A and B are shown apart, each in its own frame.
Chain A
């Protein structure tokens, strides 16, 4: 059987085909290592990006965002923390009360002065009235 198989060695490719194929192959560009390395790098980059995205999605789906919000938002996002908002509101209220009290204090002083001036004017007017009455009495006498 082995001898039978060795007879198949007579099979040869066509000479014309051989020449044509040879020239076609040798006229084609030979790929170098560097573009392939760049290709591998890009492939690795794509893979890592896809892997990262998958990790983020899994993290979000597993409720990770909520725990991060709880842990970090008082430091980074104080506007989202209810306690800090309440504290700020209370401070604002106190500031408003203080300013109102100051306003009332200042306005009371002014009113007192104004009232005093008015009472003085009234006194003066009363004195003038008395003086006029006295003058009228003197004239009638």
Chain B
């Protein structure tokens, strides 16, 4: 959570561009990563991230602080934006279209992970997971959100988030190790 976040939000609501700029600078990388790992290209991630922050700027008067950080609200917008994106573009990644080599990645991944290629493979595997699994894994392990923040962003209980996280990790590991055949 950004220091003095409430003050920035208050200022941004009053039309202070610098205040919103501070929020933008702080949350852009996280929201961008969240979207980038759910879509197929950097260009799509950039467009959607821009839409998310533009929507946040234009609809900031709707945001009410209810004990959860501003990030939860941003993630809700980002999640809806990606859902709309897939609904309109129909760019679903089907399991049949994924390179078989990708599914056969074995347990030697730590040594290869530093390469861009390995990150790209991991990204593609994440897109094979259910949307809820993707959301929880990205928010928890990539963007470092707490279970409470994730629960607020996804409109779920903390218990449900922990359960989804457990199942998502299990499924991710299964696909990564190539031990099961993933069904889309």
**Which residues from chain A sit less than 8 Å from chain B, CB to CB?**
1-14, 17-18, 21-22, 24-26, 28-33, 36
The A-contacting residues of B in range 70-116, CB under 8 angstroms, are 109-110, 113-114
Are A8 and B122 in contact, with the CB atoms below 8 A? yes
Distance of A106 Cα from B109 Cα, bound (Å):
131
In the complex, B123 has a CB within 8 A of chain A: yes
Q: Return the chain B residue nearest A7 by Cβ.
A: B113
A4 and B109 in contact (CB under 8 A), knowing A26-B20, A36-B61?
yes
Other A-B pairs, 14, CB within 8 Å; known A25-B24, A32-B61: A1-B172, A2-B169, A4-B122, A5-B137, A9-B33, A11-B32, A13-B32, A13-B46, A14-B46, A21-B46, A26-B17, A28-B57, A30-B15, A31-B59
Given the interface contacts A17-B46, A18-B28, does A9 sit within 8 Å of B142 by beta carbon? yes
Within the assembled complex, what's the spacing in Å between the Cα atoms of A6 and B144?
A: 9
| Interface of B (DSSP majority class) | helix
CB atoms of A8 and B142 under 8 A apart: yes
A1–B123 Cα distance when bound, in Å, is 13
How many pairs, one residue from A and one from B, have CB atoms within 8 Å of each other in the complex? 88
Q: Contact: B36 with A30, CB < 8 Å?
A: no
CA distance A4 to B59 in the complex (A): 36
Q: Are A25 and B50 in contact (CB under 8 A)?
A: yes
The answer to whether the Cβ of B119 comes within 8 Å of any Cβ in the partner chain is: yes
> Given A2-B141, A4-B122, A9-B142, do A22 and B60 touch, yes or no (CB 8 Å)?
no
Closest to B15 in A: A30
From B42, B54, B141, residue with most partner A Cβ within 10 Å: B141
| Residues on the A chain within 8 Å of B45, using CB | 13
A31 to chain B, nearest CB (A): 5
B157 at the interface (CB under 8 A from A): no
On chain B, the residues within 8 Å of A9 by CB distance are 33, 142
Residues of B within 8 A of A12 (CB): 29, 32
Determine whether the beta carbon of A25 is less than 8 Å from that of B172: no
CB distance from A33 to the nearest CB of B (A): 5
Residue of A nearest to B55 (CB): A25
B119 and A8 within 8 A (CB)? yes
Which residues of chain A come closer than 8 Å to B50, judged between CB atoms?
21, 24-25
In the complex, what residues of B have CB within 8 A of residue A3's CB? 110
A5 in contact with B141 given A10-B119, A13-B28 (CB within 8 Å): yes
Does A26 lie within 8 Å of B33, measured CB to CB? no
List of B residues within 8 angstroms of A17 by Cβ: 46
Complex alpha-carbon distance, A2 and B21, angstroms? 32
Q: How far is the CB of B131 from chain A (nearest CB, A)?
A: 17
Which of B21, B25, B50, B59 has the most chain A CB atoms inside 10 A of its CB?
B50
Q: Once bound together, how far apart are the Cα atoms of A26 and B17, in whole Å?
A: 6
Q: Which residues of A contact B109 (CB under 8 A)?
A: 4
Partner of B142, one of A5, A25, A30: A5
